Amino acid sequence: MRIVLTGVFVSDQDEALKFYTETLGFVKKHDVPAGEHKWLTVVSPDDPDGTELLLEPNENPVAQAYQKGLFDQGIPAQSFGVTDIQAEHERLKSLGVTFMMEPTDLGNVSIAVFDDTCGNLIQIMQT
Protein backbone atom coordinates (compact mmCIF):
# COMPACT_ATOMS: atom_id res chain seq x y z
CA MET A 1 0.00 0.00 0.00
CA ARG A 2 1.22 3.52 -0.74
CA ILE A 3 -0.10 7.06 -0.61
CA VAL A 4 -1.15 8.19 -4.08
CA LEU A 5 -3.17 11.31 -3.27
CA THR A 6 -3.39 13.82 -0.47
CA GLY A 7 -5.09 17.16 -0.47
CA VAL A 8 -5.15 20.68 0.82
CA PHE A 9 -8.20 22.93 0.95
CA VAL A 10 -7.73 26.17 -0.96
CA SER A 11 -9.79 29.35 -1.17
CA ASP A 12 -9.22 29.75 -4.93
CA GLN A 13 -8.07 26.91 -7.17
CA ASP A 14 -6.57 29.13 -9.87
CA GLU A 15 -4.58 31.19 -7.37
CA ALA A 16 -3.50 28.00 -5.61
CA LEU A 17 -2.31 26.48 -8.89
CA LYS A 18 -0.28 29.59 -9.60
CA PHE A 19 1.32 29.57 -6.14
CA TYR A 20 2.00 25.83 -6.02
CA THR A 21 3.52 25.77 -9.52
CA GLU A 22 5.15 29.16 -10.04
CA THR A 23 6.33 29.74 -6.47
CA LEU A 24 6.79 26.29 -4.96
CA GLY A 25 7.83 24.60 -8.21
CA PHE A 26 5.32 21.77 -8.40
CA VAL A 27 3.99 20.67 -11.80
CA LYS A 28 0.31 20.46 -12.76
CA LYS A 29 -0.71 16.81 -13.19
CA HIS A 30 -4.51 16.88 -13.61
CA ASP A 31 -6.87 19.74 -14.43
CA VAL A 32 -10.26 18.16 -15.07
CA PRO A 33 -13.55 20.10 -14.96
CA ALA A 34 -15.79 18.92 -12.12
CA GLY A 35 -18.92 21.06 -12.10
CA GLU A 36 -18.05 24.61 -11.08
CA HIS A 37 -14.64 23.45 -9.83
CA LYS A 38 -11.91 21.12 -11.07
CA TRP A 39 -10.06 17.99 -10.11
CA LEU A 40 -6.76 19.84 -9.88
CA THR A 41 -3.57 18.11 -8.76
CA VAL A 42 0.12 18.93 -8.70
CA VAL A 43 3.18 16.73 -8.29
CA SER A 44 6.85 17.13 -7.61
CA PRO A 45 8.88 17.61 -10.81
CA ASP A 46 11.33 15.10 -9.32
CA ASP A 47 8.61 12.44 -9.03
CA PRO A 48 5.93 13.06 -11.70
CA ASP A 49 4.35 9.65 -11.07
CA GLY A 50 4.50 10.06 -7.30
CA THR A 51 2.02 11.32 -4.74
CA GLU A 52 -0.38 13.93 -6.09
CA LEU A 53 -1.51 16.96 -4.09
CA LEU A 54 -5.17 17.79 -4.68
CA LEU A 55 -5.91 21.54 -4.58
CA GLU A 56 -9.42 21.13 -3.24
CA PRO A 57 -11.99 23.95 -3.03
CA ASN A 58 -12.92 24.86 0.53
CA GLU A 59 -16.50 25.95 -0.18
CA ASN A 60 -17.99 23.43 2.24
CA PRO A 61 -18.51 25.15 5.64
CA VAL A 62 -16.91 22.18 7.40
CA ALA A 63 -13.81 22.49 5.19
CA GLN A 64 -13.68 26.23 5.86
CA ALA A 65 -13.89 25.73 9.63
CA TYR A 66 -11.23 23.00 9.54
CA GLN A 67 -8.89 25.09 7.39
CA LYS A 68 -9.37 28.21 9.52
CA GLY A 69 -8.94 26.24 12.74
CA LEU A 70 -5.63 24.78 11.61
CA PHE A 71 -4.39 28.17 10.42
CA ASP A 72 -5.48 30.01 13.59
CA GLN A 73 -3.72 27.44 15.77
CA GLY A 74 -0.55 27.57 13.67
CA ILE A 75 -0.86 23.98 12.50
CA PRO A 76 0.52 23.24 9.02
CA ALA A 77 -1.95 21.65 6.61
CA GLN A 78 0.84 19.85 4.73
CA SER A 79 4.53 19.11 5.08
CA PHE A 80 6.96 18.96 2.16
CA GLY A 81 10.50 17.60 2.21
CA VAL A 82 13.45 19.66 1.00
CA THR A 83 17.14 18.80 0.72
CA ASP A 84 18.46 22.21 1.85
CA ILE A 85 16.04 24.10 4.08
CA GLN A 86 18.18 27.25 4.24
CA ALA A 87 18.42 27.51 0.47
CA GLU A 88 14.70 26.81 0.01
CA HIS A 89 13.83 29.37 2.69
CA GLU A 90 15.91 32.03 0.95
CA ARG A 91 14.48 31.13 -2.47
CA LEU A 92 10.90 31.35 -1.23
CA LYS A 93 11.52 34.58 0.71
CA SER A 94 12.97 36.14 -2.44
CA LEU A 95 9.66 35.32 -4.16
CA GLY A 96 7.70 37.12 -1.44
CA VAL A 97 6.60 34.11 0.62
CA THR A 98 5.74 35.00 4.22
CA PHE A 99 7.27 32.71 6.82
CA MET A 100 5.55 32.23 10.16
CA MET A 101 8.50 30.17 11.44
CA GLU A 102 12.03 30.60 10.19
CA PRO A 103 14.15 27.47 9.69
CA THR A 104 14.52 25.84 13.08
CA ASP A 105 16.83 22.94 13.96
CA LEU A 106 15.02 20.37 16.10
CA GLY A 107 17.84 17.84 16.29
CA ASN A 108 17.30 15.25 13.57
CA VAL A 109 14.99 17.54 11.56
CA SER A 110 14.86 21.20 10.60
CA ILE A 111 11.51 22.82 9.84
CA ALA A 112 10.10 26.13 8.65
CA VAL A 113 6.47 27.20 8.18
CA PHE A 114 5.00 29.60 5.64
CA ASP A 115 1.64 30.95 4.46
CA ASP A 116 0.56 29.51 1.10
CA THR A 117 -1.70 32.55 0.37
CA CYS A 118 -4.65 30.14 -0.04
CA GLY A 119 -5.63 29.79 3.62
CA ASN A 120 -3.00 27.30 4.80
CA LEU A 121 0.23 27.07 6.67
CA ILE A 122 2.72 24.77 4.98
CA GLN A 123 5.75 23.20 6.64
CA ILE A 124 8.96 22.39 4.85
CA MET A 125 11.35 19.98 6.48
CA GLN A 126 14.86 18.69 6.03
CA THR A 127 15.82 15.42 7.68
Binning the chain into helix, strand and coil, the percentages to the nearest 5 are 25, 40, 35
As for how many domains the chain has, the answer is 1
Nearest residue to 80 (alpha-carbon basis) of 42, 49, 106: 42
| CATH number, residue 38 | 3.10.180.10
Cα-only R_g, the chain? 14
Buried b (16+ CB within 10 A) or exposed e, 73-92: eeebbeeeebeebeebbeeb
* Segment 8-62, tens digit of pLDDT: 999 999 999 999 999 999 999 999 999 999 999 999 999 999 999 999 999 999 9
Nearest residue to 41 (alpha-carbon basis) of 58, 28, 59, 25: 28
* Segment 52-77, tens digit of pLDDT: 999 999 999 999 999 999 999 999 99
Domain span at 60: 5-126
